Chains A and B, each alone.
Chain A
Amino acid sequence: MRALCWVAADELAVREVPDPELRNERDVIVRVRRSATCGGDLPLLAGRDPLLRTGDVLGAEFLGEVVEVGPGVRRHRTGDRVVVGTSVACGGCWYCRQGLHSCCDNAHADPASVDPDWGRSDAGCFGRPRAAGGFAGGHAEYVRVPYADVGAFRVPDAVDDDRALFAADAAPTGWLAAELGAVRPGDVVAIWGAGAVGQLTARAAVLRGASRVLVVDRHEDRLRMAERHSGAEPLDYRRTDVAAELRDRSGGRGPDVCVVAVGAPPPDRFGGRSADRPDARREAVHACRKGGVVVVLGAADGFVDAFPLGTVTDRRLTLRGARRPDLRDVPMLLDRMARDELCTEHLATHRLPLEHGPQGYELFRDRADGCVRAVFTP
Chain B
Amino acid sequence: MKKWIQGTNAVVFSVAVIGIFIILTLFLNSIGTFQVDLTKNKQYTLSDQTITTLQGLDQNVEALVFLNSQDAEVYTREVTDLLAEYHKVNSKLEVKTYDLLTNPTLAKQYGVTESAVVLKKGDTTKIVPVYDMFADGAGASDMSAESAEASASYQFSGEEKLTSGLLSLSSSTTHKAYLLNGHNEFATTDMSTLMNHLKEEHITISDLSLLQEGSIPKDANLLMIIGPQNDLSDGETKLIKQYLNNGGKLFLSLGFNEKMSSSWKNLDSLMSMYGVKDTHAVAVEPKDTSLYDPLTIIPDYGQHEITAKLAANKLYTMMSLSIGLQLEAVKGWTTTPLLTSSSNSYGETNLSGLLESKTERDTKDLAGPFDLGFAVADAKGEPKAVILGGSTFMMDQEIVQQANLDFALNSINDLLGNSNKITIRPQEQEQYQTANLSLSQAKIIFIGTVIVFPLLFVIVGIVLWWRRRRG
Answer yes or no: do A and B interact: no
Which residue numbers of A lie inside 8 Å of B, CB to CB? none
The residues of B with any CB-CB pair to A shorter than 8 Å are: none
